[in-house]
Chain A
Amino acid sequence: MYPSWANLANLFAGRDQKFQAGIADARHRANMPVFWMLGRTQTGKTSVIHYLTGAPEAEIGNGFRPCTRYSREYPFPNPEAPLLNFLDTRGIDEPGYDPAEDLAQFNDKAHVIVVTVKALDHAQENLVRNLDTIRRAKPGRPVLLLLTCLHEAYPQKQHPTPYPFGSSLYPPNISVDLTRSIALQQDRFKTLVDDIIPIDLTKPEEGFAEPNYGGDALKQSILDHLPKAIRQTMLTLDAVTSEFRDESLRRAMPVIVSYSTLAAGAGAIPVPFIDMFLLPGIQAKMIADLATVYGQPLSAERFWEIASSLGAGVLARQAAREAIKIIPGVGSAAGAALAFGMTFALGRAFCIYYRAVCQGHVPDTGTLKRIFEEELGKASRFWKPGG
C-alpha cells in the first residue's frame, strides 16, 4: 500500500528523474540565502558559518564541496535540502586568481557578500583588487565587511563589554591601535562595502568570556541587508535554534526547517498534485536524517507504522492542499504554507518519538497524534512566506 523504504531512498538517490526535477524546482522556490564568503585563509570564515548555522566546525570542514577551481560551497544543513548556502572563495589570495570563473558561477546566485578581514591585517592587496571586480559585476548586491580577531589588538585581555561597536565604529575606551587600524580598513574598503562590523568569534579554548563577540550585530546586519524575499529563512532558523536549548534538538531543528522549507517550495509549485508525489520523498529523507542526528536507525515498517498513526490527518490535509491550489488567488502560497507546516509537525513529532526512545520508552500513537496537531499549529509561527 505504502511505497517501500527502498523506493523512497531511490527517489533521493537520483534514480527517478521526474522526482529530481521536481525537487530542483522546489529548491529553487525555497528561497535559500546564498552567502559569498571572501577573505584570506584563517580570517574566521568558518567561525562565521559556525555562528550562523550552529553546525560544528569539523562538520563544516567536511561539508565543503569543491565547485570551481578556486571555490567550494557548503550547503547547510545538507546538500539535499539546503537552508543556507555558503560559497567560499579560497583562492582569493592566490597569484593566478581571476574572479571571472567564480563570477560566472555565482554572480546570479549570491545574495550577499561577506568579506572577512583581520582587523590588524593590512596585507590586503589581492583582496581589494578582486573585491573591486566582483563588486562591479553587481553593484546593488550588499557587501558586508567583518573585521575579525579584534583581540589581537589587546593580547591576553578580555573584550571590552558591552559590545561597543553597536552604533559607531569609533566608540570611546577602545585601544588606540584598534581604532587606528579600523580607520585604515574603513578607508581602504570605503567604496567596496555597505557595512562594517567588528566581531570576534572565538573557540571556547581560546579563553574569552564572550566567544561570540559582536555576533548579534552581525546577524542584525545580515537581516538588514538580505533581500526581503529570502530574509525569512534566516529568521526561521534563528527562531527555531534559539528556542531550543537541547543539544540534539539544536542539531535537529535546522534539518526539520530545511526539509520543511523544501516542502514549502514543492508546495508552491502551482501544478496540482505534483507535490503529492514529492512530499513523501522529502519527508522520508527528513526522517532518515533525523534518525542520524539521534543515532537511532529506523526500520521502514516502523516509519510507516508511525506515519500511518498520524496518517489519516496527513493525507486528508494533503488532499485539501491540492484543492486549494485550484482556487485562483489563494493558490500556491497557501499550498506552500501547509506543506511547510505538515513537514515541520511531522519532523517535530519524530523528534519527540526519538527522544522518548533514547530514554527507553516508546510513546503511544495517541500522544504522537496530539503532538503532531500541536506542532502543526506552531509551524505557522516559523513560516512567513517571503515578500
Chain B
Amino acid sequence: MTRLRLLAIILLIIIPLLFYMGVGAYHLFETGWTFYVWWPTALCFGTAYFLGWQVARRMKTKTDSHPGDPHWTDRDQFAWGMVQARVEKSADLDQEALTQPKFYYDTAEAIAKELSVVYQPGASDPVGPVTIPELLTVIELATRELHDRVRKYVPGSHLMTIDHWRKTQKAIGWMKHANNGYWVVSAVLNPVKTAARYLAAKTTLTPLQDRLQRGVINWFYAEFISDVGRYLIELYSGRLKVGAEKYRELQEQTIRADEGGGGASPEARPVTITVIGQVKAGKSSLINALLGERKAQTDVLPCTDTITEYVLKSSGLPATLHIMDSIGYSHEGADADQVDKTAEVVRQSDLVLLVGHARNAAKQADVNFVGALQNWFRTRPQYKIPPIMAVLTHADLLTPAMEWQPPYDWSAGIRPKEKSIRDAVGTARESFPDAANIVPACTAENRQWNVTEGVLAGVVNLLGEARGVAFLRCLDESANEDRVGKVFEQLWSLGKTAYTIFRERAGK
C-alpha cells in the first residue's frame, strides 16, 4: 500500500517534468534547434564518461598494484602473489555470480586452501590446525577493513542493502530496456535524426553504464579477495595468535604510526637502529653527527666497549629514533661475548646502519657479520631481517686526499673527489648486494658532510620497512607473553577450583 503511494508521489513529481521534457524536445525539434542543443549535451555526456572512466580506473589500480605489507617476509610475498593472481582473474568472472553472497564464502575457502599449501606444505589437512579464534580474527579484521573501504569509496553505501546489491544488476538491465523504448518512440517521430543521435549516444552513454556497474562490483570483489588473502597470510604465519584487538593495537603503534605525517605520534613505538662496523670505522662519530651533539665518546684508539642507546627526537622526523652504538668487531681486544651481544642487539633492531671506512676495501669482516645475520633470519621465516643501510665514512680521505671542499655531487659530479666517492660506493655495492642503500659521508667532527641529507634521509626512507620488522617482532613477543600468561591463568583457576572442592570436602 505504502509502496503504491510512494510510486504515486514519485510519478506526480516526475510526470510534469517528463511532460516538459517532451514538449521541450518537440519544441526544439520544431524550431530545428535540436542540432545545436545536441552539442552541449554531447559535451556533458563526454565529460561524464571521461570522469567515470577515471573513477573506474582508480578503483582498478587501487587493488591491482597493492605491493603487500611492509612487514611481510619473502614467504608472505609469495603467498600474496597467489592472491594477486586471483584478483587479476576476477575481471573474467560471471557478473551474476559476483552478486551472490555464497560465492564470496566459497572464494574465501578456496583462498584459504590455496595459501595453506605455502605455509604447511606437507600437511594432509593444512587448514585443520587453525584455531577457531584465529579464524574469527581473520574474518573480523578482513570485514572491518572492507567495511571501512566500502564506506569510503562507494557513495551511498550506508543505505545499501543486500537486496539493493542484487538489484543493481537488474536495475541496470531495466534502465537499458527503458532506454531502448525511448529510442523506438523517437524513431517513429523523426527517423533520420534519431538514427544519428542514437549512434552518438550509443558510443557515449552505454559504455559508461557498463563500466560503472562492472567497476563497482569488480572492485568490491577484488578488495574482498585482497583482504581475506591478507589476513589469511597473517593467520598462517601465526601473527593472529594475539587476537584482533592486540593485532590492531600493535599495527597502530608500529606500521601505521607515521601514516598521518608530521612528527611522531605519542603512542608510536620508537624505531630502534643499531650501528655496527669494524673497530674504528666511525660508528660513534656517525651517531654524534646524527644527534648533532657530542654524546658518544670517540677516539683514535678502540674505545666503545659497551652497547649504549641514544635517543634522537625531532619535530621533522616521523618517528623517534633509538640509536644503539655497538662494539666494533675485528679487534683482538673484543671477546666473543661482546660480538655475540652485538649480534643479539642487531637481531632485535628495526634498522641496521653498517658503518665502514670508505678507504678500506677490507670489508670481509662486515660481509661475514651480515652473512651470519642473514643466516639467522633465513632459519626463522616468521621474522623479517631488518633493512641494512651501509654508510661509508671517511669520504674526505678518498683520492685526492689533500682536497676537502664539500658539497660534493657524488652521484653525478665529475670532480676527482666525486668520482672517487662514486667508485667507493660502487665497490661497496659489490660487497653488499643486499644493502637497502649505500651512502657516503664524512663523520669527522667539524667536517661533516652528507649526514642529514644523506644518512638521515636514507633512514627516513627505510622507516616503512623498519616498522614492518618491528611489527613482526612485537607480534611474536606478545604472542609468547600471552601464551605464558594464559597457562598461568588456567593453572590459577584450576588451583582455585581444587581449593574450593577441598574446602567443601573438609567442611563436611
Contact = CB atoms under 8 A, between A and B. Distances in A.
Interface of A: 40-43, 93-95, 118, 120-126, 128-129, 149, 151-153, 155-156, 158, 177-178, 180-181, 184, 188, 202-203, 205-208
25 contacts: A40-B360, A40-B362, A43-B362, A93-B365, A120-B280, A122-B279, A122-B280, A122-B301, A122-B302, A123-B330, A123-B365, A125-B332, A128-B332, A149-B359, A152-B394, A155-B396, A155-B397, A155-B401, A156-B403, A178-B300, A184-B301, A205-B416, A206-B400, A206-B402, A207-B400
A176 to B, nearest CB: 8
Contacts of A202: 401
Contacts of B279: 122-123
Given A153-B300, A180-B300, A205 B359 contact: no
Contacts of A120: 280, 300
B360 A121 contact: yes
Contacts of A177: 300
A206 B329 CA distance: 30
- Residue among B279, B329, B404 facing the most chain A CB atoms (10 A cut-off): B279
A188 B330 CA distance: 14
Given A155-B444, A177-B300, A124 B402 contact: no
A205 B302 contact: no
Contacts of B332: 124-125, 128-129, 188
B404 A156 contact: yes
B186 interface: no
A151 B397 CA distance: 9
B364 A95 contact: yes
Contacts of B302: 122
Given A120-B300, A181-B301, A205-B416, A126 B330 contact: yes
A253 to B, nearest CB: 30
A94 B280 contact: no
A49 B111 CA distance: 66
A156 B397 CA distance: 8
Interface residues of B, number: 31
A122 B332 CA distance: 9
Given A40-B360, A156-B404, A125 B399 contact: no
Contacts of B328: 123
B253 interface: no
B416 A42 contact: no
Interface string B294-336: 0000001110000000000000000000000000111110000
A180 B280 CA distance: 14
Interface string B482-503: 0000000000000000000000
Nearest to A202: B401
B361 A181 contact: no
Contacts of A208: 401-402
A93 B364 contact: yes
B278 interface: yes
Interface in B353-411: 357, 359-362, 364-365, 368, 394, 396-397, 399-404
Given A42-B359, A42-B361, 16 more contacts: A42-B362, A93-B364, A121-B357, A122-B302, A124-B331, A126-B365, A129-B332, A151-B401, A155-B404, A156-B403, A178-B300, A181-B300, A205-B399, A206-B399, A207-B402, A208-B402
CB-based closest 4 A-B pairs = A207-B402, A123-B330, A40-B362, A177-B300
Nearest to A119: B300
Contacts of A126: 330, 365
Nearest to B364: A93
A52 to B, nearest CB: 22
Nearest to A178: B300
Nearest to B280: A122
Contacts of A206: 399-402
A118 B359 CA distance: 10
Contacts of A122: 279-280, 301-302, 331
Contacts of A125: 330-332
B400 A123 contact: no
A126 to B, nearest CB: 7
Given A126-B330, A205-B400, A206-B399, A42 B280 contact: no
Contacts of B360: 40-42, 118, 121
A121 B360 CA distance: 9
Contact of B331 (A95, A118, A123, A153): A123
Contact of B278 (A41, A123, A156, A181): A123
Given A40-B360, A118-B360, A120-B280, A152 B397 contact: yes
Contacts of B280: 120-123
A231 to B, nearest CB: 32
A184 B278 CA distance: 17
Nearest to A158: B402
Contacts of A93: 362, 364-365
Given A93-B364, A94-B364, A155-B444, A207 B359 contact: no
Contacts of A149: 359
A212 B361 CA distance: 22
Interface in B257-302: 278-280, 300-302
A180 B301 contact: yes
Nearest to B302: A122
B464 to A, nearest CB: 33
Nearest to B396: A155
Contacts of B394: 152
Nearest to A157: B402
Nearest to A204: B400
B301 A156 contact: no
Contacts of A158: 402
Nearest to A123: B330
A101 to B, nearest CB: 18
A208 B399 CA distance: 11
Contacts of B404: 155-156
A124 B330 CA distance: 6
Contacts of A153: 300
A134 B416 CA distance: 40
A322 B401 CA distance: 57
Contacts of B331: 122-125
Interface string B70-83: 00000000000000
A112 B301 CA distance: 29
B373 to A, nearest CB: 15
A178 B302 CA distance: 13
A178 B359 CA distance: 18
Nearest to A176: B300
B160 to A, nearest CB: 65
Interface string B143-155: 0000000000000
A158 B361 CA distance: 24
Given A118-B360, A120-B280, A95 B397 contact: no
A166 to B, nearest CB: 23
A94 B365 CA distance: 8
A241 B445 CA distance: 44
A185 B360 CA distance: 18
B129 to A, nearest CB: 41
A156 B300 contact: no
Given A125-B332, A177-B300, A208-B402, A156 B396 contact: yes
A202 B444 CA distance: 22
A178 B301 CA distance: 10
Nearest to B366: A123
